[in-house]
Amino acid sequence: MVRLITHNLLACHVKGCTSNNFPLEFKDVQVVLRESEFNPDFLRGFIPKLEWPALVGAARELGDTSLPDQLPEMLDDDFLKTLHHVLLEIHVEEGIMICPNCKHNYPVSNGIPNMLLAEHEIG
Amino acid sequence: MAPAVTATVVNEDAPESYEVAHVHDVYDAIASHFSSTRYKPWPIIAAFLANLQDGWVGLDSGTGNGKYLPLPLDRPGRQWTIGLDRSRNLLEIARTAGGASVLREVVWGDVLGHGWRREVFDYAISIATIHHLATPDRRKLAVERLLGAVSPAHGRVLIYVWATRQDEHSKRNIPTNSSGTGQDVFVPWVLAEDSTQVFNRYYHMFDDGELAALVTLAAEELGLVIGPAAAEGSLKGIEIVQDGWERSNHYVELRRWQT
């Protein structure tokens, strides 16, 4: 699955593509929503690692506009539940992720992102 | 009686295609049967995964059927391990590791790639994977990728590889040499549903001390000091927390630090 939790970690690794290589842009996606167990302790620990603007942008690409532009200071349960939904319940099943810099296409098929490169392509 | 493990010689001019033929293609062909034999987490690996912090994210580089992705079982969802593997067929199994009702995050990729933000993970494990790389340089690069995937401040890494020193209960008879740099072998896999189909998997079996030496070389390549965290200065390093042998495998646990 490419959920937005994973998308927020992935970056292009083509040789020479070392800046503006994150976040990958979604194109032609098919999305499925699946409920998952809410875990506020996980979210509180994970938030410092999030690239917030990338998450907000990716969610909007997928049609979810529930996140604010800025990470709120108050991490109350309402906000954490919204974040939980965006990070962990939106599954990109099919589509393409495109590097904003070098435009390399990383396909997503049956929920699995293909990050393979030929070895001569890897930076 | 299982077919014997036999010595092999890697084609060092073309290690990538050698791995395709003798590792990647084999796992895609045997994925279902292989996975049915790999269900029990090893205690040291389970203990490593049970002692991490809430909110941490990790990379399981060479996840196979994903048996470590649901751990720790007593605190589900408190940390998040993402499984990476070269075998698409194993990943399809890893997606539902721990039961079809809970889906895992898996990524199709190679352990020599690095398709993630630098140092973004809190931990990384590589279990029974690096021994499938066919040259010392490629095995070293695989360790560099693990070290470069985790936090410079607190990143934790656990690596397991197969050992030339076999458990006394091991049924395998292993070819030996006295090089001190391990032994390249083929390990046959006989398909359960058709015993005439035998696939030879390539392994590099590690000698005593070889894994720690490999980690040291990889750390040096990245400019990391090896040893306990320095008291002062602006240094980056790794501490070898454990360096051991268990049931025919060598393992090493590492912690990154910076001052």
Here the ipTM equals 0.96
So what's the pLDDT on residue A68? 97
What confidence tens digit (pLDDT) does each residue in A35-70 have? 999 999 999 999 999 999 999 999 999 999 999 999
List the alpha helices (DSSP H) in chain B: 15-19, 25-36, 43-50, 88-94, 136-149, 210-221
All residues at 6 or more sequence positions from A42 whose CB lies less than 8 Å from its CB, including other chains: B54, B55, B77, B78, B79, B80
Domain range spanning residue A10?
Answer: 4-121
Domains held by chain A: number = 1
Q: What is the pTM of this model?
A: 0.95
The mean pLDDT of chain B is 92
Has residue B2 got a pLDDT over 70?
Answer: no
Q: Are B62 and B126 in contact (CB under 8 A)?
A: yes
Alpha-carbon torsion B211, B212, B215, B221, what sign?
negative
Is there a domain that residue B175 lies in? no
Task: Tell me the pLDDT band of A34, cut-offs 50, 70 and 90.
Answer: very high
A49: chain B residues, CB-CB within 8 Å: 55, 57, 120, 122
Whether A41 and B55 lie within 8 Å, measured CB to CB = yes
**pLDDT top residue among B63 and A120:** B63
Whether A12 and B115 lie within 8 Å, measured CB to CB = yes
Domains held by chain B: number = 1
B105: chain A residues, CB-CB within 8 Å: 1-3, 5-6
Is there a domain that residue B188 lies in? no
Is there a domain that residue B226 lies in? yes
Question: Any idea what the CATH number is for the domain that residue A81 is in?
Answer: 2.20.25.10
- Counts for chain B of helices (H) and strands (E), in that order: 6, 11
Is there a domain that residue B30 lies in? yes
Is there a domain that residue B114 lies in? yes
What confidence tens digit (pLDDT) does each residue in B182-207 have? 999 999 888 877 888 888 999 999 99
Average pLDDT over residues B27-44: 85
Question: Any idea what the CATH number is for the domain that residue B242 is in?
Answer: 3.40.50.150
State CA B43 to chain mean position distance.
15
Is there a domain that residue B74 lies in? yes
> Which of B69, B105, B106 to mutate: most A Cβ within 10 Å?
B105
What percent of chain B is modeled with pLDDT above 70? 98
To the nearest whole Å, the CA of B37 is away from the closest chain A CA by 24
To the nearest whole Å, the CA of B249 is away from the closest chain A CA by 28
Domain range spanning residue B44?
Answer: 13-163+207-258
